[in-house]
Amino acid sequence: MSAPNERVVLAYSGGLDTSVAIGWIAEATGAEVVAVAVDVGQGGEDLDTIRKRALACGAVEAYVADARDEFADEYCLPALKANALYMDRYPLVSALSRPVIVKHLVEAARLHGATTVGHGCTGKGNDQVRFEVGIAALAPDLKCIAPVRDLALTRDKAIEYAEKHQLPIETTKKNPFSIDQNVWGRAVETGFLEDIWNPPTEDVYSYTQNPAEPRDPDEVIITFEAGRPVAIDGETVTMLQAIELLNQRAGAQGVGRLDMVEDRLVGIKSREVYEAPGALVLITAHQELESVTVERELARFKRTVDQRWGELAYDGLWSSPLKKALDGFIDEANAHVTGEIRMTLHGGRAVVTGRRSEQSLYDFGLATYDTGDTFDQSNAKGFIELFGMSTKLAAVRDQKNT
């Protein structure tokens, strides 16, 4: 049993499980609970309402952080520079938000003298790893507790507890889906989606409109400086504003839907439905501008680094030495990723239609086959002889030994 004055900082969403967890932890451990809610652009209820609910559910303190700009600048932007797509598809919607939440949990633990941090994850998912490894990286002295996993807090028990204690939270209606969302995107799982033959229905989606519905296309120009989006159609934007605006415009065109079977860190294959209109448009535009401005060998190597960076972020190793080292490489590789990308958003697709950059490596004179061609074709024969020499020598040897 914990000492009466010991405190636990709990990652608080305002939902059933974490609301019940406040009292559940107190009864199981004897500790006081400090609830921490972090706004990463998930929308929904006002954070002050969530803070008051935490106090009504028994929290001794309720800490609320508006981390939207912080999340966009320090977590989404590095992911954009890395073109981070786990399994070449998933833009790390949930994975990116966990380290910023962890940061605020640790800060709250220090502020309120807590010795333990709690989270609402189960033992089957990735998030338990992201939270606990992240906390260990920032504050190895803190302990972790997961009421659902460690204290047998099932949903049925949560509903029973909430009704018995008359907690100010809805307990009778059950959404068939498990949903996690932030400004970078929205993740939906469970319910009938667990049968991977079942198609998603339109009520699964919230960030995107049905791409099959007829509508006029939307053309957008995105301006980048050193890999960072700085303007949309000539209007200056912050990173957060760029994501929000493209969520609206691309989402209205049905852009950004993903339906995939994903390899979880714990070894389970899980069916996930994602919506990430702004994220996927920005990554598509960024990749295209890289193709214009990044030198060939650097671009080749960066694709390997990007993949590894995404895997580290997905696996909860945001603060690992390797991830930090790769950050430096990716920043350097983005030094010349400056220019404009024009895209057409329509019918669920974001199609690049134009690129221009003062940092461009595209030379019209070298590329054209028409008048104005500056490429010296006489160089090609000798280049081919030298480039293919090792292959030719190996082929001659192999023929001799056949």
- Pairing assessment for the beta strands 218-225 and 339-346 based on DSSP bridges: antiparallel
Tokens of 371: 């008048």
CB atoms within 10 A of CB 310: 22
122 touches 266 (CB < 8 A): no
Q: Give the catalytic positions in this structure.
A: 17, 98, 127, 178
320 touches 341 (CB < 8 A): no
Query: Which of 88, 68, 65 has the alpha carbon at shortest distance from 247?
Result: 68
Sign for the pseudo-dihedral over CA of 103, 105, 109, 115: negative
DSSP tag of 201: P
Which residues does the annotation place in the binding site for L-citrulline?
90, 126, 130, 178, 262, 274
Which residues does the annotation place in the binding site?
11-19, 90, 120, 122, 126-127, 130, 178, 262, 274
Biggest alpha carbon–alpha carbon distance for the chain: 87
What is the C-alpha separation between 327 and 345, in angstroms, rounded? 30
106 touches 144 (CB < 8 A): no
Residue 380 burial by Cβ neighbours in a 10 Å radius (0-12, 13-18, 19+): exposed
- Give the helix ranges, DSSP H, for 294-388: 296-314, 321-333, 364-367, 379-387
Q: Which residue type sits at 209?
A: Q
Which residues does the annotation place in the binding site for ATP?
11-19, 120
Query: Which of 227, 242, 131, 229 has the alpha carbon at shortest distance from 183?
Result: 242
What is the C-alpha separation between 253 and 217, in angstroms, rounded? 8
